[in-house]
Amino acid sequence: MKTRLPDHGPLETPKFWRTLEERVETLDAQEAAHHEFLPSAGPGAFDDVHGLPVQDGFSRRDFFGLVGAAAAVAATVACDRKGQGTVVPYTKRPVEVTPGVANYYASATNEGRRVYPVLVKTREGRPIHITGNDEHPGVKGKTSPRTLADVLRLYDPDRLRAPKANGRTLGWTEAEGQLQAALKSAKASGKAVLLVSGAVVSPSRKALLADLKAALPTLEHLAYEPVAGDGAEEAAKASFGQSVDVQPRLDKAKVILSLGADFLSGEDPESLGAWGAQRRLKSAKDNINRLWVLEGPLTLTGTNADQRVPVVPSRLAAVAFALAKELAAKGVSLPAGTDLSAIPAQSEVPAKAWSNLVKDLQHAGRNAVVLCGAQMPAEAHQAAHLLNAMLGSEAVSVRAAEPLATVKDLETATKGMGEGRYAAAIFWDVNPAYTFPKASAWKEALAKVPFRAWIGQVEDETAAQCQLLLPENHWLESWGDFSTASAAVLQQPTIGTLYDTKQGEDVLLDAAKALGAATADNYHAYLQARWQKSLPLGTSFAQALHDGLVKGEDKAASPAFKGASVAAAAKKAADSKPQGLELVLFPGFATHDGRHANNSWLQETPDPISKMTWDNPVAVSVQDAQAMGIQEGDYVSLSLDGTTLRLPAILQPGQAKGVIALALGYGRTTGGVAKGVGVDAFPLLGLDPASAHVRKGAKLAKAGGKKELSRTQSHHRMEGRDIVRSLTMDEFEHHPQGHHHAPEIVSLYEDQKFPDHKWGMVIDLAACTGCSACVVACQSENNVPVVGPEQVARGREMHWIRIDRYYEGELENPKVVHQPMLCQHCDNAPCENVCPVNATNHSPEGLNQMAYNRCVGTRYCGNNCPYKVRRFNFLEYTAYKTEPETLANNPEVTVRPRGVMEKCSFCVQRINDVKIRAKGDGRAILDGEITTACMAGCPSDAIVFGDLKDPKSKVSQLVTASRAYRVLEELGAKPAITYLADLKNPAAGE
């Protein structure tokens, strides 16, 4: 029975709110505000002897046995580099492994067409942490959340460990013999061979495929990226006559218009860095950009918009073409042959906002850029290309790219397989049996191909349809190269192969040699030979490996925009009308297209918008949900073109009316982590490439029942206080602290003295986009455990840093502010004086410390923390890890047992590492030399860490900035973290 709270009368809508319940202050929300923890987050059954939570089926003996097995694996495989060629450390430390000393290697990976140059930290020969390569002129030491987490995929226990044929394990000689015999037979018969792979962004891989094609003329290659956006590919061919890669250069942009483009999601660290640089303002006179967003579902980019207008995605093209037509009427030149006569006046954008948008683009001219989301219809992409051509935008570069296959190409291949066109099919790191919308038809047709081979890491839905399975190296075990706009990038292995695996390139290289091609003995030699021919004078291959790249601008001419392509697209856009509900299918934040679904770190990282973990509920606008009587967690049936899915619903403020959104990459049938998590939405993908990800005519209805959502947005509430601040540029100029004044705190105690250092942090909310890279970086660095969906639903997630997402304003289109929240390392920490065993205490350098072996789990400290940033190990979350997973642990950080409290330590291990090195060098610590994991991982440089005792340090200067404030400073806790208020730059009169 619920306790009824006192009736306080009608409640005003709070200025900032995180959930719909908080906004209207329901009885449940008021009751939750009076609890320190969720009621379900309390303890369960406890061990009578140790006073710790009981877990069935796992004993102390089992735990120590698992630890011993992991140590044995580390000793036997971590330092094995046999067959890997010569690798060069990034730093000048010795190549050989020195116990206790980290080595760093420059490498790179890719996800679709996007390339991530990285720096890999290894300990005792095993990779444990990934950051961006700070030598790369574009990414400048930053990378994406999924790349940060990919070190865990290296140690995935589900990886295939040796070749298999029809379920039988065999050696590589026999396995490759079967593949080569099938290819020779196909060559002799003249029948086609189908090769399906991911995007080809490696020059050496492209050359290798050309060699294979020369040796096997009947080879047909499809580069397939199921969430890259077929509409973007179709628009590129129409607008430029070829495939292109559109790359924002936001450092040159004063005005940005996004047509459903989520470029601040974290996938593009270069754009995030350029964005953050224009938002970290010291005064209102500094230059700031302006971001306009027109979109249907609320995206992370939309939450950071200065002006956002909800627009149904199928109407984005008509709005953009109308914008081009109005700019032309105001004197902006149209490309030759452009016909916009079919475009009527727009009606989706309010008149005042429309007028301001037109003025902004016209005045910015070359410093304006229009970006279109990959999943948006082809006509919207063509309209974006047209606007950029009209403006002469210097804030975007268009590079020629290798073409990608669309769903239409996969449909053609399906027909060919069914008709017996192919003698063999090879699938390399792709999973069309899962991602192709007509998966059953694909499987039926594939069964008619005589020989089917699969190259990959974890057996997936496509592997189940193949006879020969060839286990592939992880990219951290591989050689490779990539091309980016500002540098050529090298990939080198940072560890020997953990299992009996090979690079996919080596498999194809061996196949090419068997077919008569004269080529290198292995892919490492092949790669090195190509690079030595193209390296600049005076640069060695070893030096290129050391740096991870060779700098140099891409000199290739940009393809010319074809104005004549516009007329047909404009007419189609003008005729496009909404039909029923409009479904937007987008890549999952955690899963992408499903390739990361087996990564538990990513599955448990809250989605930056919905704050969902371990699931992909359908997002419904508040207006539509109210009309249909749908509440949070209600099961609904989603129907489209004969396919019906049953899944839970969430209500999403800011989502356009008539639009529903669903993440792809869930509902896998394989993988120990991925299997059964969420619902597979690929069957709803369209077969028309122009609009495959935006589907009209969807139907939604209540299906009965309710699901408990593993959603974190309602956890750790801090009731009705001055937590987050957001200012317009006008307010920043006249009231930089937002009318808030820090109270003067009088204390009976003297201020603490810090003889050497006083560590502190500044977080700029104007630069923070909420991408969650800091959350993943912290998890990787500090051995933060995964607890699973059931525990998350009970409020027991263990992340040391969370991103609180606050709404402001009306449900239909609220403003949004993201605030990273972590231990504040208070000088007068409320947690310290209530601990009965002094497990939490204050260091002489201002750190709030935790002595894990002293903690007895009273949770008094968590109860007394006003910031709700302490986490309690209710269960033995780390003991169930299978054999290789423990190799991902950072040996510099304790792996905490159950029954203890933990929280952010300001990466004390990194502080001590720098102090030791500085002492050995006989020098002082340099400002910026110490970087916490969250600071190093933040793509927008919103986090600054340093010594507050050094008046010249960057952190000391920022704490006195006009936007600076401390959360809950009125409590007298004296937090060591300072926040800078968020900034919005709306147009005049908005």
Residues 776 and 697 reside in one and the same domain:
no
> Is residue 51 one of the residues assigned to a domain?
no
Which of 54-58, 273-277, 450-454 is the least confident region? 54-58
Q: What is the predicted pLDDT for the residue at 289?
A: 94
Across the range 413-419, mean pLDDT stands at 96
Instruction: List CB contacts of 86: < 8 A, sequence separation 6 or more.
Output: 542
850 & 974 share domain: yes
Do residue 183 and residue 217 come from a single domain?
A: yes
Beta pairing class for 549-551 and 487-491:
antiparallel
In the block, residue with structure tokens 């070749």: 163
Q: Are 846 and 780 found together in one domain?
A: yes
Distance CA 117, CA 132 (A): 6
In a domain, 65, yes or no: no
With helix as H, strand as E and coil as C, how does 362-428 read? HHHHHHEEEEECCCCCHHHHHHHHHHHHHHCCCCEEEEECCCCECHHHHHHHHHHHHCCCEEEEEEE
pLDDT at 125: 87
Does residue 332 contact residue 373 with C-beta atoms inside 8 Å?
Answer: no
Same domain, 362 and 281: yes
Residue 585's domain is classified under what CATH number? 2.40.40.20
Whether residue 754 is predicted with pLDDT greater than 80 in this model: the reply is: yes
**Same domain? 618 vs 504:** no
Burial 662-692 (b: 16+ CB within 10 A, else e): bbbbbbbebbebbeebbbbbbbbbbeebbbb
Give the pLDDT band (50/70/90) at residue 697: very high
Identify residue 651 by its one-letter amino acid code.
Answer: L
Q: Which of 133, 154, 175 is the last residue of a domain?
A: 154
**DSSP code per residue over 767-825:** T-----HHHHHHHHHHTPPP--HHHHHTT----SSEEEEEEES-TTS-EEEEEEE----
The set of residues, in sequence order, having a beta carbon less than 8 Å from that of 161 and lying 6+ positions away, is 471, 499, 500, 501
CA–CA distance, 978 with 960 (Å, rounded to integer): 9
Alpha-carbon distance 738 to 480, whole Å? 51
Residue whose token pair is 């011993």: 68
Rounded to an integer, the average pLDDT of 338-344 is: 90
- What mean pLDDT do residues 958-964 have? 93
State how far the Cα of 887 lies from the Cα of 474, in Å rounded to an integer.
15
The CATH number linked to 974 is: 3.30.70.20
Cβ–Cβ < 8 Å for 199, 429 = no
Strands of the sheet containing 487-491, edge to edge, are: 480-483, 487-491, 549-551
Between 966 and 879, name the one with better pLDDT: 966
Sequence-distant (≥ 6) Cβ neighbours of residue 175 within 8 angstroms: 163, 165, 468, 470
Mean pLDDT, residues 549-571:
87
3-state secondary structure of 927: coil
Contacts of 290 (CB under 8 A, 6+ apart): 254, 255, 256, 306, 307, 360, 985, 986, 987
Identify the pLDDT of residue 40. Answer: 55
Same domain? For 240 and 363 the reply is yes
How many domains does the chain divide into? 5
**Per-residue DSSP letter, 665:** S
Residue 570 counted as domain residue: no
Share of the chain above pLDDT 70, in %: 89
Q: Is residue 108 part of a domain?
A: yes
Q: Which residue(s) pair with 841 in the sheet?
A: 849
**Is the per-residue pLDDT at 639 higher than 90?**
yes
Task: Give the best-scoring range by mean pLDDT among 5-9, 98-102, 631-635.
Answer: 631-635
Q: Is residue 4 situated within a structural domain?
A: no
Q: Tens digits of per-residue pLDDT, 356-399?
A: 999 999 999 999 999 999 999 999 999 999 999 999 999 999 99
Q: Is residue 560 part of a domain?
A: no
Angle at 540 between CA 534 and CA 541, to 5 degrees: 75
Per-residue confidence (pLDDT) for residue 518, from 0 to 100: 83
Mean pLDDT for the stretch of residues 851-866: 93
SS3 463: helix
Element (H or E) spanning 650, and its range?
Answer: strand 643-652
Strands (E), 188-306: 192-197, 219-223, 244-248, 255-259, 290-295
Kindly state whether residue 535 falls inside one of the protein's structural domains.
Answer: yes
* The last residue of a domain, from among 399, 420, 442: 399
Residue 241: give its domain's CATH number.
Answer: 3.40.228.10
Sheet of strand 255-259, all strands in order from the earlier edge strand to the far edge:
307-310, 290-295, 255-259, 368-372
Contact by Cβ (8 Å): 811, 653: yes
Average pLDDT over residues 712-730: 77
Same domain, 82 and 196: no
- Here the CATH number for the domain that contains residue 109 is 2.20.25
Q: Which two tokens stand for residue 541?
A: 């291959």
pLDDT at 932 over 50: yes
Q: Could you tell me if 168 and 103 lie in one domain?
A: no
Task: Tell me which residue range forms the domain holding 663.
Answer: 580-706
Neighbours of 500 (CB within 10 A): 14
Same domain, 197 and 235: no
- pTM check: above 0.75: yes
pLDDT at position 403 is 94
Domain boundary among 132, 154, 176: 154
Indicate whether 179 pLDDT > 60. Answer: yes
pLDDT digits (tens, 9 = 90+) for 23-55: 665 566 555 555 555 555 555 544 433 334 444
Domain at 172, CATH number? 3.40.50.740
901, 780: one domain: yes
Q: What is the pLDDT of residue 252?
A: 93
What are residue 246's DSSP bridge partners?
398
Residue 7 predicted with pLDDT over 70: no
Which phi and psi (to 5°) does residue 707 adopt?
-120, 140
- pLDDT confidence of residue 6: 36
Give strand pairing partners of 472.
502
Does residue 325 share a domain with residue 271? yes
On average, the pLDDT of the chain sits at 88
Mean pLDDT of 82-108: 66
The answer to whether residue 345 sits within a structural domain is yes
pLDDT at 78 over 90: no
Q: Could you tell me which residues come within 8 angstroms of residue 935 by beta carbon, excluding any fewer than 6 positions away?
A: 761, 774, 943, 944, 945
Closest Cα partner for 612 from 622, 621, 598, 602? 602
Q: What pLDDT, on a 0 to 100 scale, did the predictor assign at position 539?
A: 83
pLDDT of 990: 63
Instruction: For residue range 497-527, list pLDDT tens digits in order.
Output: 999 999 999 999 999 999 998 888 999 999 9
CA 547/CA 526 separation, integer angstroms: 20
